[in-house]
Structure 1
Amino acid sequence: MPLLDRNGSAEDRWTRSEGAAIGNIPAALVPWELLVEALDTQEPEQVVGVLIPNNVPFAELAPFLPRLALVAIAFPAYADGRGFSLARQIRRAGFAGEIRASGPLIADQFAYALSCGFDTIELPEANAARQPVPQWLHAKDSFSATYQRGYGESGRNVLDQRRAARAAAPIAAE
């Protein structure tokens, strides 16, 4: 599946493991159901990521975050936005690793996904063919401001812009 980051196409260094045995995989992406077993068998030089459904309660995921390098959130459909909320919770908890959206998102959701804390988006082949990389980049750049505060995009949200304008405006005499 094609992988995008904020600059366009990206190379995927992660190998999906359908089982918990991650023996010689340097960067293993395991399903949520097998995470505990995979972490128990993790070698010191390995990094582990997890692919979670978008309905996993954050409280269940939180204890594992310090041991993970990637959290991939599955989107069953582009209209199911629970993954965006989960990504924000993960970032707010201080997770500095990669957060990936995995599923049939559309280009119009790219800027929002980045502002929610996603680093990468993994698309099914059909979606990538329907909306190629230049369309995703155009959609991302077509928003000059957002309503929510994002990650790594200071000054792009409306609230920060209004505060900066108010601070720069001369004080009116009364």
Structure 2
Amino acid sequence: MTVIVTDSGFGPDVRGHAYVTPDQIASASSAALAVDVPSDADPETLRPYLDRIELIRIDFPNFADGRGFTIARRLRLMKYRGHLRAKGHIIADQYAMARRSGFDEVQIDAALAARQPEAQWISRANWQKHDYQTLLRTKNSNVAI
């Protein structure tokens, strides 16, 4: 079973796409595409197709592999406005980083969801307020100069 994590918690995968790989995009007949991107992909190869891609799912083979964060950030800098999903072994502690780098949601398996329940993910859902830069600004504004 797949669990989709968003800022509001756990939910089912309601998108129901058939995914293609980056090398299959050019020959895909569908007008709107969902693409599975491996962690070692060059996002530049997707640039000519970004207007056709509805959903990009980026693989995280293990929690120590952060290349997917870079791929997501680069896609957003290329003006990709579609849906970005992190898939694989993302842990709750990485959720805020996933959101800051441009992901809309995270896809995890049921075993990981059982080990890291919804409350752990929701506690990191206010990622815009609790980033280190905001904390530093708040801390520094209370210091008398």
Distance 1:94 1:142, change over 3 A: closer
Is 1:130 aligned to 2:120, yes or no? no
Letter in 1 for 2:109: P
Q: Which secondary structure does the structure 1 equivalent of 2:63 belong to? A: coil
Equivalences, count: 139
Structure number having the greater strand percentage: 2
Alignment match, 1:169: none
Percentage of pairs with the same residue: 34
Alignment match, 1:83: 68
Question: By how many angstroms is 1:85 displaced?
Answer: 0.6
Find the aligned partners of 2:56 and 2:90 in 1 and give their Cα distance.
17
Superposition pairs of residues 33-112 of structure 1, within 5 angstroms: 33-38=23-28, 41-42=29-30, 47-112=32-97
Find the aligned partners of 1:6 and 1:58 in 2 and give their Cα distance.
25
Between 1:2-11 and 1:112-121, the stretch displaced more is: 2-11
Higher relative contact order (CA 8 A, sep 6+): 2
Q: Which secondary structure does the structure 2 equivalent of 1:37 belong to? A: coil
Alignment match, 1:145: 130
Question: By how many angstroms is 1:161 displaced?
Answer: 4.3
- State the structure with more CA Rg: 1
Q: Deviations over 1:56-105 (max 9, x none)?
A: 11211211111101111001001000000110111111111110000011
Is 1:118 aligned to 2:119, yes or no? no
Letter in 1 for 2:18: A
Structure 2 residue runs without a partner (length 5+): none
Find the aligned partners of 1:11 and 1:104 in 2 and give their Cα distance.
17
Question: By how many angstroms is 1:144 displaced?
Answer: 4.1
Q: Which secondary structure does the structure 1 equivalent of 2:64 belong to? A: coil
